Amino acid sequence: MEGSQERTLPVRAGDWVGSVLDPSVTAKVRAAYFSSDGKVLVDLVVYAKDGTRIGRESPSMGGPRGYESACSWEDWKRIRKPSFPIDLKWIPNGRGSMTAGYAPHDFLPDRQLIQAAAPARPAPRRVSDYDPKSEAAARRLAAQELRDVARRHGIEDLRARADELEAEAEAISPRGM
């Protein structure tokens, strides 16, 4: 694509993701996109540990109620579809013992989805009803009427103005008309 830049998205709609901050939080991607400053944002439908769809947990403040909108991708990673219910497990704590907790997600590598940047929009074309052929015809008609009035009333200034209108009509008239 000439004049546009391609960018890659790490996730796509329908992918399951897990929070890198809290292993008990699981969501399904509703949409992935770039913000105006180029960061990856995702709309997420959050699921409870038993597999029930929660939708949105934060206050909607007039926004969507069925999903968390515009979440930063930095806090999420792709995972395999979870096997609900997600239960507490014994997890080694690194000191030779185990702690009950939610096991970290089995993270998957990011996708390499190509999204072409929107091409630069051309300047809006001005819509006009200007038609040079009609404009030239209107000036010629006005010139003829001025000549008729000048002849009837003997006003030479009107003939000069009629000649000016004829010259303008000739200047704006499309070639060969």
Could you tell me the pLDDT band of residue 172, with boundaries at 50, 70 and 90? confident
Q: Which residue has the higher pLDDT, 111 or 164?
A: 164
Determine the distance from the C-alpha atom of residue 141 to the mean position of all C-alpha atoms in its chain, rounded to a whole number: 50
Q: In this predicted model, what pLDDT tens digit does every residue of 23-81 receive, in sequence order? A: 788 999 999 999 888 889 999 999 988 888 987 888 767 778 889 988 999 989 999 88
* Whether residue 107 sits in one domain with residue 20: yes
* Whether residue 26 sits in one domain with residue 108: yes
Q: Which residue has the higher pLDDT, 173 or 114?
A: 173
* Whether residue 140 sits in one domain with residue 72: no
Query: In this structure, is residue 124 part of a structural domain?
Result: no
Q: Where are the alpha helices (DSSP H) in 18-91?
A: none
Query: In this structure, is residue 157 part of a structural domain?
Result: yes
Per-residue pLDDT, averaged over 156-167, amounts to 89
* Whether residue 82 sits in one domain with residue 157: no
Q: Which residue has the higher pLDDT, 50 or 101?
A: 50
Check if the beta carbon of residue 76 is closer than 8 Å to that of residue 17.
yes
Q: In this predicted model, what pLDDT tens digit does every residue of 103-129 receive, in sequence order? A: 666 777 777 665 555 555 666 666 777
pLDDT of 152 higher than 50: yes
Query: In this structure, is residue 75 part of a structural domain?
Result: yes
Query: In this structure, is residue 89 part of a structural domain?
Result: yes
* Whether residue 71 sits in one domain with residue 10: yes
* Whether residue 137 sits in one domain with residue 53: no
* Whether residue 43 sits in one domain with residue 96: yes
pTM of this prediction?
0.55
Query: In this structure, is residue 61 part of a structural domain?
Result: yes
* Whether residue 72 sits in one domain with residue 150: no
Query: In this structure, is residue 163 part of a structural domain?
Result: yes
What pLDDT does residue 15 have? 93
3-state SS, 112-141, equals CEEEECCCCCCCCCCCCCCCHHHHHHHHHH
**Domain total of the chain:** 2
Parent domain of 59: 6-116
Q: What average pLDDT does the chain have? A: 81
Query: In this structure, is residue 121 part of a structural domain?
Result: no
